[in-house]
Amino acid sequence: MENFIVSFRKYRPATFDTVVGQEHITGTLKNAIRNNHLAQAFLFCGPRGVGKTTCARILAKTINCQQVTEQAEACDQCDSCEQFNKGVSLNVLELDAASNNSVDNIRELIEQVRYLPQLGRYKIFIVDEVHMLSQAAFNAFLKTLEEPPPHAIFILATTERHKVLPTILSRCQIFDFKRIKVEDIRKQLERICEKEQVQFDQDALHLIAQKADGALRDALSIFDQQISFSGQNLTLESVLENLNIIDYEHYFKATEMMRTQDVAGLMLLLDEVMFKGFDPVSFLSGLCGHFRDLLMAKTEATVKLLDVSDGIRKRYILQSREIPEGFLMSGLNIAATIEANIKTARSPRLQVELALMKMAFLTQVIDLAQVADEKKKPESVVVAPGQPASPASDSSMSPAQSPAKPIVAAPVAEPNLSLLKGGVQAIRGLSKELQEAKEKEQQRIASANSIPLSAEEFAQQWPHIIREANNAGDLFLKAILESGDAKMQGGQIHLIVRSKVEESKIQDSESWLAAHFRTYFGGRQPAVMMQMEEASPDAPVIMGTGAKSKFARMAEINPNIVALKEALDLEFVY
C-alpha cells in the first residue's frame, strides 16, 4: 500500500510524444522550441483531465533542457532535467490560483520574476486555474504579463476561459485543448493493461473510455477503481456492475421485443431495470440513444459515427437491417413527447410504460399504412398487339404503333386484406361505441332536465359550486356568486350583478358553470338569468384581477379615463 501510485500519476506523460490526443498542441510547441520562437506567455484552455498542466510541465522542462533532442524533446539526462524530475528545480514555480488568488499571492510571484534562473535560460511560472484569481489580482498581474523580463515565461492554465479578463487573453498565446477521443483513451488503457499484466475485454475498456467523457485522468481513475473491484481480470460484466450502467444488451432486447410486439416482455424488462436501481426516465433516454445509433448504422457513411467497440458496432448493423427507419423515427417522436411531459407527471414509470407500449404497436401501424398505400396503387395492365389501349394508356397511339410484344406492368403485391379489414372494423366499432355513449348522455341530460330543480335542492348545492370556483383559483367568479343573492325561480337561476364587468365574467364562465350544474344538480342544467342592480355606496366593490376588468371599473367611476387612454395611445399590460 505504501508503494502504490495512482495510474494518472504513474503514467503521466513526460515528453510531448507521450501526450494522448493533443497532437495539434504538442506539434506547435515542438516547432516553437525547435525554431526558438517562444512566446512570453501561454494560456492553455480546455476541459478537465485532458493534459493542460501536463503539457505546461513538459514545456517548462524542455525549454530549460541543456541538450534538447532533434525531435524537440528533453534529454532527461542533463542537470536541469534531473532537478525537474526530482521536483527540486528552482527555475519552475507552480501556483494554484484556486487557493492563492489574492493580490498578495500575485505580488509574491512578481517578486520572484526579478531573480535570474539558477540553471538554464528561463524561469517558468505555471499558474493553474488562473480564472480563480480575483479582479484585483488580475489587475496586479497585467503589467508584469505585458512586459516580463527576457528570462521569464508564464504558462497559465484554465478550464473556464470565459472568466479570464480580455486584457489577460490579449497578452497570451492561446492553445485550446480538446476532449480526447474514446478510441485514443481505449488504446492508452490497453497499453497500461499490458504493462500492469491485466487481462481485459475490449468492450470493458471502451465502456470506461466512454464514461470518462473525453478526460483521460477520469478514465485512469475509473480504471483503478475497476482493478480494485475485479482484480487483474477486467470484464464487461464487472465494469457494468461497478459503474451501475445499463448495458447495450437491455436496449437490443427492448428493440427486438418492440419489433415482435412483445408488450409483456417489455414491461418485465423495464421492471428488471428499475429493480437494479435505475430510473425509468434514464432507461427511456438510453433507448433514444439506441434508436439514434440504429439510424446511423443503416448506411456505411454514418456508421463511423457510432462511438462503440467493433463488436457492438456489428450488432447495431445487424439489428438496423431488421428495423425500418419509420419505426425508429416514430419511436424517437414518442419518447420526445413523453420526456417533455414527464416532469409534471405524478407517475414517471407509468409514462415510460405508456411510451414503450406505443412503440410496441408501431410495427402494426406501419403495416397498416403500407397496406393502405398498396391498395391505392393501380393494378397490372396488359396491352396486347393490335388491341385498343386501355383508358389509362395513351389514347393517341394507334394499334399499328403498338409494340410487337405485350407490355406487362410490374405486379402489385397482394395486400393482407384480413389485417386491413380487422383495423377498419376496430375503428368502426370504436366510433359506434362513442356515438352510442354520446346519445345515452344526451338522453340522460334531457331526462334530468324534465324534472324541475327545487329551491331547497338549489340552496343545498349552490355552496358547493362556490367552493369549486374557489378551488379552481377563480376568486373573482367566487365573489360574484357569493354576493349575487342567487335564487331559483321558474326553473331558472336569478343572479344579481352590479356592473358590466361582473356580467361579462358570468358570460365567459358559462361553460364552466354548465359543467358543474350537471354535476351537482343531477344532470340538470338550468339557465342563469342576470339582473343588473346598482351597488350601495357602502358595498364592497368586486373587481377582476385582469387589466381590462380594472380599467372597466375605473371607467364607470370616471369616463375621462377612456379619453386619457385614447389620447396617450395606451395599451393593457398583462
CATH of the domain at 224: 1.10.8.60
**Residue 262 lies inside a defined structural domain of this protein:** yes
Contact 278, 246 (CB under 8 A): yes
Tell me the C-alpha to C-alpha distance, in Å, between residue 33 and each of 90, 158, 361: 21, 23, 64
The model's pTM: 0.55
**Residue 82 lies inside a defined structural domain of this protein:** yes
Provide the CATH number for the domain around residue 97: 3.40.50.300
- Nine-digit cell string for 405: 410484344
The answer to whether residues 155 and 217 belong to one domain is no
**Residue 392 lies inside a defined structural domain of this protein:** no
Contact 523, 448 (CB under 8 A): yes
Tell me the C-alpha to C-alpha distance, in Å, between residue 87 and each of 81, 84, 123, 416: 10, 5, 15, 79
State the residue range of the domain holding 225.
182-243
The answer to whether residues 203 and 115 belong to one domain is no
**Residue 491 lies inside a defined structural domain of this protein:** yes
The answer to whether residues 360 and 216 belong to one domain is no
- Nine-digit cell string for 241: 456492475
The answer to whether residues 153 and 39 belong to one domain is yes
The answer to whether residues 84 and 133 belong to one domain is yes
Tens place of pLDDT per residue across the chain (574 aa): 456 778 888 888 888 888 888 888 888 988 888 888 888 889 999 888 888 888 999 998 888 888 888 888 888 888 888 888 888 888 888 888 888 888 888 888 888 888 888 777 888 899 888 888 888 888 888 888 888 888 888 999 998 888 888 888 888 889 999 888 888 888 888 888 888 888 888 888 888 888 887 888 888 888 888 888 877 788 887 888 777 778 788 889 888 888 888 888 888 988 888 887 788 888 888 888 889 988 888 888 888 888 777 778 888 888 888 888 888 888 888 888 887 777 777 788 888 888 888 888 887 776 666 666 666 655 544 444 444 444 444 444 444 444 444 444 444 444 454 544 555 555 565 556 666 666 666 666 566 555 677 778 888 888 888 888 887 777 788 888 888 778 887 778 888 888 888 888 888 888 788 878 877 887 777 888 887 776 555 555 555 555 666 777 777 777 787 878 777 777 765 4
* Distance in angstroms (rounded) separating the CA atoms of residues 247 and 207: 9
DSSP, collapsed to helix, strand or coil, labels residue 396 as coil
**Residue 382 lies inside a defined structural domain of this protein:** no
DSSP, collapsed to helix, strand or coil, labels residue 160 as coil
The answer to whether residues 159 and 15 belong to one domain is yes
> Of the residues 201, 227, 243, which one is the last residue of a structural domain?
243
The answer to whether residues 98 and 199 belong to one domain is no
DSSP annotation string for 31-89: HHHHTT---SEEEEE-STTSSHHHHHHHHHHHHT-SS--TTS---S-SHHHHHHHHT--
Provide the CATH number for the domain around residue 494: 3.30.300
* Distance in angstroms (rounded) separating the CA atoms of residues 79 and 5: 26
Tell me the C-alpha to C-alpha distance, in Å, between residue 437 and each of 105, 291, 450: 81, 40, 20
The answer to whether residues 228 and 253 belong to one domain is no
Comparing C-alpha atoms, which of 156, 84, 147, 146 is closest to residue 118? Answer: 84
**Residue 370 lies inside a defined structural domain of this protein:** no
The answer to whether residues 271 and 329 belong to one domain is yes
The answer to whether residues 18 and 163 belong to one domain is yes
The answer to whether residues 20 and 72 belong to one domain is yes
- Nine-digit cell string for 77: 539526462
How crowded is residue 416: how many other Cβ atoms within 10 Å of its Cβ?
Answer: 14
Total number of domains constituting the chain:
6
Place of cell 358543474: 516
> Of the residues 159, 176, 193, which one is the last residue of a structural domain?
176
**Residue 393 lies inside a defined structural domain of this protein:** no
* Distance in angstroms (rounded) separating the CA atoms of residues 14 and 17: 9
**Residue 99 lies inside a defined structural domain of this protein:** yes
The answer to whether residues 18 and 30 belong to one domain is yes
DSSP, collapsed to helix, strand or coil, labels residue 155 as strand
